[in-house]
Amino acid sequence: MKRIYMILGITLLSSTVLFSQNDYNLRKCLEIGLDRNYSIRIVQNEQQITNNNATLGNAGYLPTVDLSSGFTGNVDNIKKDQADGTFETTNGVNSEAANVGVNLNWTIFDGFGIQAEYARLKELQQMGELNTRLTIEDFVANLASEYYNLIRQKIRLKNLRSAVALSKERLRIVEERYYIGSMSRLDLQQAKVDFNADSSQLITQLETVHTSRTRLNQLMALDNVEQELHIPDSLITPNPFLDEAELWNHTMTNNVSLLISQKDRSLSEIDYKKLKSRNYPYVKLNAGYGYTANWYGTGSTDLQKRLGLNYGVTVGISIFDGFNRRREQRNARIQIKNQELRLEELELGLKTDMSNFWMAYKNNLELWKLEKENLIVAQENYSIALERYKLGELSGIELREAQNSLLEAEERQSIAEYNTKLCEISLLQLSGQILTYLYPEEDKASY
């Protein structure tokens, strides 16, 4: 019993200590997390790669220019058979050649394939931006959910501490009455059992609060995941003014998953255009300017030098490739159709999610209002029960029932307001407005 008192005393004392001079409200937690979270930093680097790739040169619009040089040499033994039947042998004939030059290759036209490739790179660049936004929105939703979960767990911790204090007061009353002989040992033992049960729940809840806090610190990528956070918010206040029609309109225009699916469809159409480009001829330009020197170990010429320009144009078209172009284009059209079906399937899924989340949101709002009223009744009921218990008009079991009713009412209200907040977060994420938690004064749906 003394050990339990000691643990409870330490936890009650620790709850009054400010571990940080700064308040970690939701917006500050989000700002820290956006700056430090590893997943966000990784996806931002990946977005930078797509930005770097979206260039004219990578698409093939620009020519390639190469500078090359080389040196070769031969040492030969030469035998010549003459027409008169004699032969001439020369051993160790050394001949060498050196060259240096600049070469240009440029595809002027390839059936609009270059244009299709550049359009694909630009689409991938926008896809990278959407993937970054998707990661950020998921992060904001996860951190906001954990932030409010920590508040809920702290509210429950506070309620359990209150329950322990009530059980302790009841135990004190029973002990005093037991020692003067007005209560039985059974009453005393029951009061101790109830006090120990409440103390056990409180100790377990401390672990739950710790887990939620470390999870929040992990999302913010803090070096010390056990760092204590002073959260100024002690209540969860859902937004009761969401509008279903407005949310759905935003969903159809701003939902990131929907925008990504639309980009996938556009990429499929571009791939088809790129394949169709093979039906057209291609035109390639090549040119070079260089210097060549040849040293001969035999013959009448010792050294030959050449400096000049070479150029040419290549025009061609693929006549027959085993019907592969037809097959690939047919498959590409099927892929476009599949992307359209996936887009329709996603829209249907979004409608389903919106309907379910909206129903849950409205129901939890009603539950929240109802549980607030129930809590007031439960508090009054317990106050009356406690006074009657002190006067000896109520048994310990009946007082315990009133106490449990109060704790359950507090828990139901906390769950209702937390669930309402989760539905609110889900609806805002679905409609592409989740970043309003970070920028409440601005419309960041197109971030």
Question: pLDDT (tens digit, 9 = 90+) per residue, 284-343?
Answer: 999 999 999 888 777 677 788 888 899 999 999 989 889 999 999 999 999 999 999 999
201 in any annotated domain: yes
Q: How confident is the model at residue 5 (pLDDT cuts 50, 70, 90)?
A: very low
Residue 199 has a CB neighbour count (10 Å cut-off) of 22
Reported as type and span, the H/E element at residue 88 is strand 87-109
Q: Strand pairing partners for 109? A: 283
Q: Strand pairing partners for 107? A: 284
Q: What is the pLDDT of residue 4?
A: 40
pLDDT for 119 beyond 80: yes
Pairing assessment for the beta strands 87-109 and 64-81 based on DSSP bridges:
antiparallel
* Measured distance CA(263)–CA(119) in Å, rounded: 12
Contacts 24+ apart (CB under 8 A), 318-324: 318/278
Q: How confident is the model at residue 266 (pLDDT cuts 50, 70, 90)?
A: very high
Mean per-residue pLDDT of the chain = 89
3 in any annotated domain: no
135 in any annotated domain: yes
43 in any annotated domain: yes
CA atoms within 13 A on the CB side of 33: 28
* Measured distance CA(361)–CA(364) in Å, rounded: 5
Q: How confident is the model at residue 16 (pLDDT cuts 50, 70, 90)?
A: very low
Q: What is the pLDDT of residue 446?
A: 35
Q: Strand pairing partners for 211? A: none
pLDDT for 420 beyond 90: yes
Q: Taking the C-alpha atoms of 210, 211, 213 and 216 in order, what is their torsion angle to the nearest 10 degrees?
A: 170
pLDDT for 378 beyond 80: yes
- Mean pLDDT score, 122-135: 96
Q: How confident is the model at residue 440 (pLDDT cuts 50, 70, 90)?
A: low
Residue 397 has a CB neighbour count (10 Å cut-off) of 11
92 in any annotated domain: no
Angle at 203 between CA 201 and CA 209, to 5 degrees: 100
300 in any annotated domain: no
DSSP tag of 434: G
pLDDT for 92 beyond 80: no
With CA atoms as reference, report the closest residue to 238 among 413, 361, 371, 417: 417
**Total tally of structural domains belonging to the chain:** 1
State both tokens at 326.
Answer: 């037809």
With CA atoms as reference, report the closest residue to 312 among 270, 337, 284: 284
Residue 350 sits in which domain range?
19-54+110-281+317-437
| CATH of residue 266 | 1.20.1600.10
Q: How confident is the model at residue 17 (pLDDT cuts 50, 70, 90)?
A: very low
Burial class of residue 202, CB neighbours in 10 A (0-12, 13-18, 19+): buried
Q: Higher-confidence residue: 247 or 83?
A: 247
